[in-house]
A and B are shown apart, each in its own frame.
Chain A
Amino acid sequence: MPQKKRSKDLNFLEKIYLPEIFNGLMLTLKNMFRPNVTMQYPEQKFIPPASYRGRPVLVKENDDTERCVACGLCSRVCPALAIEVQPDETALEKERFPKLFEINMLRCIFCGFCEEVCPEEAIVMSKDYELVYTNREDAIYGKDKLLVPVEELSDRLEFLRNFK
């Protein structure tokens, strides 16, 4: 009985390997002349697109006040329980402001729920991905580190208005 031809049976040219080896070599040779994808990180930094979710920050208006009204929704929605907000009264029109606003960056999972739930567009995800601390206390970011001027966040705010 003649043996059935199987798909893995090779023909003569494939059996002597050489043409396929040549093809493989040409592929790697072609790749040697393609541009590199490597980024020389500390010297050359990755600038993320507006859709990037870096560390969450609070928006600081031009008159040096925060947008946040300390409603506590972000703290409520945070799945990692990373946010703590303590509200206080203010003489401004918005009546409330966060006396204390802390994000524990060891807990934060960069899900962006806080930004999604915020009614005031006061907390947004920034492009900052360089988070370094040498002890646990430093990992808890207070208002001093969280407040970022509104101009620096215009990319993200525009993105949110278009796609949120």
Chain B
Amino acid sequence: MDIWSIVIETSIKIFVVVNVLLLTVSYSVYFERKISAWAQNRIGPNRVGWLGLLQPFADVFKLLLKEDIVPDKSNKAIHALAPFLALFVAFSTYAVIPIGPEMTLFGYTFSLVVADVGIGILYVLAMTSLGVYAITFAGWSSGSKYSLLGGIRSAAQMISYEVSMGFSIAGVIMFSESLNMNVIVQSQAGWMWNAILQPIGFITFVVAAFAETNRMPFDLPEAEPELVGGYHTEYSSMKFAGFFLAEYANMAIASALIVTLYLGGWQNPLVDIFGITGITATLMQIGAFLVKVLALLFFFIWVRWSLPRFRYDQLMDLGWKVMFPLSLINIVWVAALIMIFNL
């Protein structure tokens, strides 16, 4: 394959992935509002377009037209950089997540992942760690005490939970014997999902993912009652929208990661049961991936509107005294499984 076909193929993939991700993000904002409304016996947005389906576009349009206020005491360059860093991190993580197996269309075979790199998981971990910088920069450069507190909280929280996240992933890697995302998915063929084989690791990873994305039980960096708005108190207009989009993009990525690592990725048990092959099987597998991700997104939103926020010391207690030992136990458990059943 010459260099130009690779460039064109990758560009098309990037275009498709970014657009699908943006749509998912805008509609997860819509469904966040809808599901919160349903949980509280309300109707939710229903005025803009049919069933309020154009609401996300109206929101973005409103934010675009707003005045961009930058505080006098802020560090202007970093203040402007932070939201773009958040967005960059959120979107670039998606490059290594496989949406489906290899696909042949019009006699041309290509893999359904933007960059099929050997160090997939390491790349994801590195990128999500960078996300801390965006929030810390935002908090520090705003020149406001509430923002600073939010930024510091988020840094402490993300570092605490990254440890248990990394150790949970170690269990997955021990099974797949590879860091490549596609190999990890293939290692979970049939019903050999990691969520079933290592439930403790699954739970610690999901909890850590909630903490990494600053979602509800762990959304201390933006705790409204204490910190006004946390790290994005001093942001307005499209910069605020950047953080908003990044938060939901992170949510979509966390869901996609959980699906890839623990819920069998694009594996669709129906394909094996009925022995479907060819393009139909591929489409069914892509569908399975999307359904799993959407179900997890619903779970994220559902949890947000059910659970109260942790106190700061409880959050640290949970991270270091509970999650960390549990993820270590998970590694022992996985090692035992491998030893006994020779998986």
Asked whether B6 is an interface residue with its Cβ less than 8 Å from the other chain, the reply is no
Among the 9-residue stretches B232-240, B269-277, B299-307, B329-337, the one with 4 or more Cβ atoms under 8 Å from chain A is B299-307
Contact A29 B41, beta carbon cutoff 8 Å: no
Asked whether A131 is an interface residue with its Cβ less than 8 Å from the other chain, the reply is no
Closest chain B CB from A121 CB (angstroms): 40
List which A1-59 residues lie within 8 A (CB) of chain B. Answer: 18, 21, 24-25, 27-29, 31-32, 34-38, 40
Asked whether B126 is an interface residue with its Cβ less than 8 Å from the other chain, the reply is no
Interface size of A in residues (CB-CB distance below 8 Å): 15
For the complex, give the distance between the alpha carbons of A36 and B203 in Å. Answer: 33
Residues in A whose Cβ lies below 8 Å from that of B303: 21, 25
Mark B273-305 against chain A: 1 for CB-CB distance below 8 A, else 0: 000000000000000000000000000001101
Mark A57-95 against chain B: 1 for CB-CB distance below 8 A, else 0: 000000000000000000000000000000000000000
Contact B39 A28, beta carbon cutoff 8 Å: yes
Asked whether B320 is an interface residue with its Cβ less than 8 Å from the other chain, the reply is no
For the complex, give the distance between the alpha carbons of A38 and B44 in Å. Answer: 9
Residues in B whose Cβ lies below 8 Å from that of A40: 43
Contact B306 A35, beta carbon cutoff 8 Å: no
Contact A32 B306, beta carbon cutoff 8 Å: no
Contact A31 B39, beta carbon cutoff 8 Å: yes
Contact B42 A31, beta carbon cutoff 8 Å: no
Name the residue of chain B whose CB is nearest to the CB of A38: B43
Q: A29-B302, A36-B43, A38-B43 are in contact. Are A21 and B38 (CB under 8 A)?
A: no
Asked whether B90 is an interface residue with its Cβ less than 8 Å from the other chain, the reply is no
Contact A24 B43, beta carbon cutoff 8 Å: no
Q: A21-B307, A24-B307 are in contact. Are A31 and B41 (CB under 8 A)?
A: yes
Asked whether B96 is an interface residue with its Cβ less than 8 Å from the other chain, the reply is no
Mark B102-119 against chain A: 1 for CB-CB distance below 8 A, else 0: 000000000000000000
Residues in B whose Cβ lies below 8 Å from that of A25: 302-303, 306
For the complex, give the distance between the alpha carbons of A25 and B43 in Å. Answer: 19
Asked whether B40 is an interface residue with its Cβ less than 8 Å from the other chain, the reply is yes
Contact A36 B42, beta carbon cutoff 8 Å: yes
Contact A35 B41, beta carbon cutoff 8 Å: yes
Residues in A whose Cβ lies below 8 Å from that of B38: 31-32, 36
Residues in A whose Cβ lies below 8 Å from that of B305: 28
For the complex, give the distance between the alpha carbons of A31 and B307 in Å. Answer: 14
For the complex, give the distance between the alpha carbons of A34 and B303 in Å. Answer: 18
For the complex, give the distance between the alpha carbons of A32 and B42 in Å. Answer: 9
Mark B33-50 against chain A: 1 for CB-CB distance below 8 A, else 0: 001011111110000000
For the complex, give the distance between the alpha carbons of A35 and B40 in Å. Answer: 10
Contact A32 B39, beta carbon cutoff 8 Å: yes
In the assembled complex, 12 residue pairs joining A and B whose CB atoms fall closer than 8 Å, in A order, are A21-B307, A24-B307, A25-B303, A28-B39, A28-B305, A31-B40, A32-B38, A34-B41, A36-B37, A37-B41, A38-B43, A40-B43
Sorted nearest first, the 9 A-B pairs with minimum C-beta distance are A32-B38, A28-B306, A28-B39, A38-B43, A24-B306, A37-B41, A38-B42, A25-B306, A36-B43
